[in-house]
Amino acid sequence: MIRNPILPGFNPDPSIVRVGEDYYVATSTFEWFPGVQIHHSRDLENWRLVARPLDRASQLDLRGDPDGCGVWAPCLSHDGQRFHLVYTDVKRYGRTTTAGASGASLRDFHNYLVTAETIDGPWSDPVHLNSSGFDPSLFHDADGRKWLVNMLWDHRPGRNRFGGIVLQEYDPRARRLIGERRLIFKGTPLGLTEAPHLYRRGDHYYLLTAEGGTGWNHAVTMARARSIEGPYELHPDVHILSARDRPDAPLQRAGHADLVETPAGETWMVYLCGRPLSNRGRCVMGRETAIQKMCWGADGWLRTEAGDGLPVVEAERGPSIDQREDFDAPGLAIDFQWLRTPEPEAIFSLSARPGHLRLYGRESIGSLFTQALVARRQQAFCYSAACAMDFDPAHYQQAAGLVCYYNAAKFHYLHVSHDEALGRHIRVMSALPDAPQADAFTAPVAIPPGRIELRCEVDYERLRFAFRAEGQAGWTWIPEIFDASILSDEASAPGLPNFTGAFVGLACQDMAGTARPADFDWFAYRERDYAAGPTGLDWPAALSRLGAGPMLRA
């Protein structure tokens, strides 16, 4: 049975390709480095993260990219000889007032192509394709020609910012686009036309796009033409997948799709989706990737199996993750990423103290340039995370600890610091996107010197922190319950794109510029049962069964 979402908690904008019996899905990574994540499957059900291809400065440098920008909408394809990966690096987003209809007019989108003979590389240095818009996709036609499509950004006053889909030929020998670009599809009245993919079936070229924006109005639109340059006629139903008129659907925000055909001739669609909390309407798992079987009709058009155009859930979850990283290997596990910099040696080391991840204190948490924050994605509604840390701060400009992070405007950070009155202490700093005061702090708690263990427990929209100092038998719980739902797209930070999803991980700052380090002996991430639902789980009892120590008072 296909599990939907097939990539729980993983970023959206999926692109899928089949090579022989192997399926690969590439998804966006935004400001997180290394760029792009690729999952592999043999059965379209069980998926494993196998590659992050953009892993060096010559391919990608995200320093200065605003939150939610960076790598958008990678498209992975194969021409029979090698893999091709095209992607956008978004350098400027600007201030928005509505979902793309107005607001910042000038934006910078740079589209690139890298190639590799195998999925695990090595991947080439990039070829710059264009900067006319985002969501590039490369189509390999049967005659050997290659075509790039992308959405066109129109900054002119009074114009539709989403100016339609443009087509241009790519010459692999010259390694550049050739000929004139042509506008082949202006979109429908739903607007916000983006995420184009081209396919050829029979006598027609099929164009798949996303419309309605990446929120609640998201939809998959299809059109076809007998010539690749058009004219393109709309599908009789216009939109072949959407939940925009069905607030009861368990998968919302469905759109930004791609198609793959199995050896048996079945057609499957991968697409972006979100699972909102029933009591808050926020998708704390971010935008996820789902998959659904589709059917071609006698009229030559694609539809869902039920013909209703709705996203479906076959099963709500797969196996739970219970993972511990002891930092004994020469490199980080593939699950971990960091923010923006292509120079990881500037922010962490696995050799400076063997068996530990050493984070060098860098810029403030939320910096757009060089901050020492190493994290993994949240992949379940309920999870536990913990770490053991050695950190001896000299003053209040130095801090390190465990963070639940969305972006610079949305995080909860359990950290150890120092001041002249209290000495070494621990507290939580929260960045709150929808509160009168953007930064909030809990009261500091004095702690003794030495190793300390930190922990967080997330249950849907509820978050608790605890710590255990060296020699302490039980956990000391921070008394406050924190709102984990702010770590979502829907908890809007005005003027910023909200796309990335929630992470949990380790951080270290030294705003005095002396690179005071913190050493982490281990990090653990464990998913917990959430079958009882967001209001039905006996949270304190569940934590007690996990060995949490004192019962929490929720």
pLDDT tens by residue, 108-156:
999 999 999 999 999 999 999 999 999 999 999 999 999 999 999 999 9
Residue 311 neighbours by CB under 8 Å, 6+ apart? 4, 241, 243, 249, 251, 254, 271, 273, 290, 292
* Predicted confidence (pLDDT) at residue 208 exceeds the cutoff of 50: yes
- 37, 142, 193 from 76: Cα distances, Å: 11, 17, 20
Which pLDDT value is given to residue 548? 37
- Return the higher-pLDDT residue of 36 and 96: 36
C-alpha 143/C-alpha 145 separation (Å) is 6
The pTM of this model reads 0.93
C-alpha 382/C-alpha 387 separation (Å) is 17
Paired with 16 in beta bridges are 25
Q: How many CB atoms lie within 10 A of CB 99?
A: 15
- 46, 326, 358, 507 from 333: Cα distances, Å: 19, 10, 15, 17
* Predicted confidence (pLDDT) at residue 544 exceeds the cutoff of 60: no
Helices (H), 303-375: none
Query: Which residue is catalytic, options 13, 67, 453, 461?
Result: 13
Mean pLDDT across the stretch 225-231? 97
Q: Are 377 and 37 in contact (CB under 8 A)?
A: no
Q: Which residue has the tokens 């290659």?
A: 146
Give residue-wise pLDDT tens across range 432-457. Answer: 987 777 899 999 999 999 999 999 99
Q: Are 261 and 18 in contact (CB under 8 A)?
A: yes
Mean pLDDT across the stretch 467-477? 93
Confidence of residue 173 (pLDDT cuts 50, 70, 90): very high
* Predicted confidence (pLDDT) at residue 255 exceeds the cutoff of 80: yes
Mean pLDDT across the stretch 415-432? 97
13 is known as an active-site residue: yes
Where b means 16+ CB within 10 Å and e means fewer, 264-288 reads: eeebbbbbbbbbbbeebebbbbbbb
Give residue-wise pLDDT tens across range 263-295. Answer: 999 999 999 999 999 877 899 999 999 999 999
What is the distance, to the nearest Å, from the Cα of residue 484 to the centroid of all Cα atoms in its chain?
A: 17
C-alpha 338/C-alpha 376 separation (Å) is 9
Which pLDDT value is given to residue 279? 72
Which pLDDT value is given to residue 549? 33
Mean pLDDT across the stretch 496-506? 90
Query: In the chain, how long is the greatest CA-to-CA distance?
Result: 77
Shortest CA distance to 356 belongs to which of 516, 523, 503?
Answer: 523
169 is known as an active-site residue: no
Which pLDDT value is given to residue 71? 97
Q: Which residue has the tokens 């192509």?
A: 113
Confidence of residue 530 (pLDDT cuts 50, 70, 90): low
Q: In what order do the strands lie in the sheet with 302-304?
A: 252-261, 267-274, 288-296, 302-304
Give residue-wise pLDDT tens across range 330-369. Answer: 999 999 999 999 999 999 999 999 999 999 999 999 999 9
Query: Which residue is catalytic, options 89, 194, 211, 489?
Result: 194
Which pLDDT value is given to residue 537? 36
Mean pLDDT across the stretch 218-235? 98
Paired with 178 in beta bridges are 169
- Considering the chain, what is the average pLDDT of its residues? 92
Which pLDDT value is given to residue 24? 98
The sign of the CA dihedral 152, 153, 156, 161 is positive
